[in-house]
């Protein structure tokens, strides 16, 4: 069986590295991008099983990344979990409307929580 793949789109290098290291340790193939433009390139190249997406990023933010995916109809097959420092209802509603399966506040969840949620979310999407 192939490893499941995670695309981490996060502009904060320490968090991006921590997420990468944790998911590699848990047995996932992990791909990373520092902004939404890199994220779109990675997404189209690898078609990951799930995406972890930051909202506030340079060049192309998370909301605009979701809009790009929605326009191309590619999002329906890949779950996206938004990780944000912004606890604002407007951004959360917009992300969910655009297809995000979850919207999490970074400081409220441990890396282990994220690994568990990613596993649950992939199971929901593939069953």
Tell me which residues of the chain have a pLDDT lower than 50: none
Domain that holds residue 35: 5-126
Query: What pLDDT score does 74 carry?
Result: 64
Query: What pLDDT score does 84 carry?
Result: 86
Per-residue pLDDT tens for 18-31? 999 999 999 999 99
Nearest Cα to Cα of residue 80 among 94, 90, 89: 94
Q: Name the domain count of the chain.
A: 1
pTM of the model as a whole = 0.92
- Specify the CATH number for the domain of residue 63: 3.40.50.2300
């Amino acid at each position: 069986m192939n490893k499941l793949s995670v695309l981490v789109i996060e502009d904060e290098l320490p968090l991006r590295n921590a997420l990468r290291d944790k998911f590699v340790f848990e047995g996932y193939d992990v791909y990373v991008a520092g902004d939404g433009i890199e994220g779109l390139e990675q997404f189209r190249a690898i078609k990951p099983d799930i995406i972890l997406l930051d909202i506030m990023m340079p060049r192309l933010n998370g909301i605009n990344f979701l809009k790009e995916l929605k326009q191309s109809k590619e999002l329906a097959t890949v779950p996206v979990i938004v990780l944000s420092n912004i606890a604002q209802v407007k951004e959360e509603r917009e992300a969910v409307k655009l297809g995000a399966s979850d919207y999490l506040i970074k400081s409220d969840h441990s890396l282990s929580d994220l690994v568990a949620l990613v596993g649950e979310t992939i199971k929901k999407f593939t069953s």
